[in-house]
């Protein structure tokens, strides 16, 4: 991995904002409810190790990741708290998790039988049973299979640590499907003789808009980074979310072009008048969507249009006047009374703020304040 430390493009992460979001979420939870911080996908683009340590200092008691390698990186960094891998891990490598005391999600009886058959682990494997209550992704869907799984988990090679589900529509106004999933959750967990240590159903959206639907642990993801999980669908929030990241750069080339001159690939943009054009060292290889032509960045506290096709490593901006090379350019964040947020970018790009943040390339240097 090469990090661009010698160019001006930076993702500035405000750790105080992450702390703010966690502590305000903590205030609306029952005291008995634990919080696991979701730091998968490089901490939603913010940097997995620094975010994990910040979240734990702010009150989180555990961490969630997507793949085993993310969990192992956290262990190698000396983080000893419970870590849950939310995706499915192959039984062939599950002994690695057992040795590192990393918890794995299991969604089928077949997985448990395969691990039981091949395991030579000296440590029990921590298991969270995933329940598919309507997400349609992974997990148990049948009551009898849940009962079978519980019996297998009585083996000494397992530690039945948790059970959970994931709501598909917790970030929508209409709660009908959410309620259907909740009913399915009760049916599936009702098949268990005893509930394990961790019972968790709440992601960010559930914890913001569906309390007290929590179990005894929540998984705080996008809200921890200060972004609304619903995008623009639900604007009422129990506390103000503080966005943690700014994507900034500087003008590295400025020129005046004449009417009739074209800019960037395909000559798709042609100036109608004489114009000042600035070039900035950000492109789609940095995770900024190529489709953002016609959108804006902030320069000198005002919105300036992106013109021409966005290149792999650069883009061009129409300036209202001549600016000096080195002038600050904000792609995500504040300048003066203007703001461009990840959600606004996502709306323009036809996606969600999650994708905008997790797409920011690792070559973009993270600066923490």
Which pair of tokens denotes residue 101?
A: 């005391």
Q: Can you name the residues that pair with 163 across neighbouring β-strands?
A: 129, 199
Is 137 known to sit in a ligand binding site?
Answer: yes
Complete domains list, the chain, with CATH = 15-225 (3.20.20.10), 245-340 (2.40.37.10)
Show the CA angle centred on residue 287, arms to residues 318 and 327, nearest 5°: 35
pLDDT over threshold 90, residue 1:
no
pLDDT over threshold 80, residue 121:
no
Q: Residue 74's pLDDT is what?
A: 98
Q: Residue 206's pLDDT is what?
A: 96
Return the number of other C-beta atoms located less than 10 Å from residue 121's C-beta. 16
Question: Which of these is catalytic: 5, 40, 198, 284?
Answer: 40
pLDDT in tens, 300-334: 999 999 999 999 999 999 999 999 999 999 999 99
Q: Can you name the residues that pair with 317 across neighbouring β-strands?
A: 278, 306
Contacts of 330 (CB under 8 A, 6+ apart): 246, 247, 248, 297, 298, 299, 340
**pLDDT class of 119 with cuts at 50, 70, 90:** confident
Cα distances (angstroms) measured from residue 225 to each of 22, 54, 146, 192, 353: 9, 11, 35, 35, 11
pTM of the model: 0.95
Which pair of tokens denotes residue 47?
A: 């940097």
Residue 368 bears catalytic tag: no
Average pLDDT value for residue range 145-151: 98
Mean pLDDT of all residues belonging to the chain: 97
Average pLDDT value for residue range 60-68: 98
pLDDT over threshold 90, residue 94:
yes
Average pLDDT value for residue range 207-219: 93
Question: Which of these is catalytic: 101, 186, 225, 265?
Answer: 265
Alpha helices in 86-174 (DSSP H): 94-99, 109-118, 143-152
Q: Pairing between strand 302-307 and 296-299?
A: antiparallel
**pLDDT class of 258 with cuts at 50, 70, 90:** very high
Short-list 29, 54, 5, 10, CA closest to 226: 54
Q: Residue 65's pLDDT is what?
A: 98
Show the CA angle centred on residue 44, arms to residues 42 and 50, nearest 5°: 55
Tell me if 112 sits within 8 A of 118, measured CB to CB: no
Percent of the residues in the chain that have a pLDDT greater than 70, as a whole number: 100
pLDDT in tens, 158-209: 999 999 999 999 999 999 999 999 999 999 999 999 999 999 999 999 999 9
Residue 40 bears catalytic tag: yes
Q: Residue 314's pLDDT is what?
A: 98
Q: Residue 214's pLDDT is what?
A: 85
Q: Residue 161's pLDDT is what?
A: 98
Q: Residue 134's pLDDT is what?
A: 96
Q: Residue 82 and residue 104: Cα distance in Å, rounded? A: 11
Is 312 known to sit in a ligand binding site?
Answer: yes
From 114-128, 148-162, 252-266, the region with the lowest mean pLDDT: 114-128
- Sign for the CA dihedral angle at 70, 4, 359, 202 comes to positive
């Amino acid at each position: 991995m090469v990090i661009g430390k010698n160019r001006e493009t930076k993702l500035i992460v405000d750790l105080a904002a992450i702390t703010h979001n966690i502590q305000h979420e903590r205030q609306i939870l029952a005291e008995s409810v634990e919080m696991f911080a979701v730091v998968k996908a490089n901490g939603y683009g913010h940097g997995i190790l620094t975010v994990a340590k910040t979240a734990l200092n702010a009150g989180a008691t555990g961490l969630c990741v997507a793949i085993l390698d993310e969990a192992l990186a956290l262990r190698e960094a000396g983080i000893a708290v419970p870590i849950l891998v939310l995706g499915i891990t192959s039984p062939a490598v599950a002994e690695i998790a057992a040795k590192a005391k990393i918890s794995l999600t299991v969604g089928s009886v077949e997985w448990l039988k395969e691990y039981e058959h091949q395991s030579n682990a000296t440590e029990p494997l921590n298991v969270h049973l995933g329940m598919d209550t309507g997400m349609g992704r992974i997990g148990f869907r049948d009551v009898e299979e849940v009962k079978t799984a519980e019996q297998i988990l009585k083996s000494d090679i397992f530690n039945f640590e948790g059970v959970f589900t994931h709501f598909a529509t917790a970030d929508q106004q209409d709660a009908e499907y959410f309620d259907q999933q909740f009913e399915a959750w009760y049916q599936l967990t009702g098949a268990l003789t005893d509930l394990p240590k961790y019972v968790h159903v709440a992601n960010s959206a559930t914890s913001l808009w569906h309390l007290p639907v929590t179990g005894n642990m929540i998984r705080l993801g996008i809200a921890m980074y200060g972004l609304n999980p619903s995008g623009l669908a639900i604007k009422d929030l129990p506390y103000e979310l503080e966005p943690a990241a700014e994507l900034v750069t500087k003008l590295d080339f400025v020129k005046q072009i004449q009417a009739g001159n074209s800019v960037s690939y395909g000559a798709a943009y042609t100036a109608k008048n004489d114009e000042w054009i600035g070039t900035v060292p950000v492109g789609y290889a940095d995770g900024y969507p190529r489709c953002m032509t016609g959108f804006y960045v902030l320069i000198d506290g005002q919105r300036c249009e992106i013109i021409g096709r966005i290149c792999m490593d650069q883009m061009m901006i129409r300036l209202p006047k001549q600016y000096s090379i080195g002038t600050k350019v904000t792609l995500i964040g504040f300048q003066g009374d203007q703001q461009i947020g990840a959600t606004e970018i996502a709306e323009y790009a036809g996606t969600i703020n999650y994708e905008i943040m997790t797409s920011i390339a690792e070559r973009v240097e993270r600066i923490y304040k």
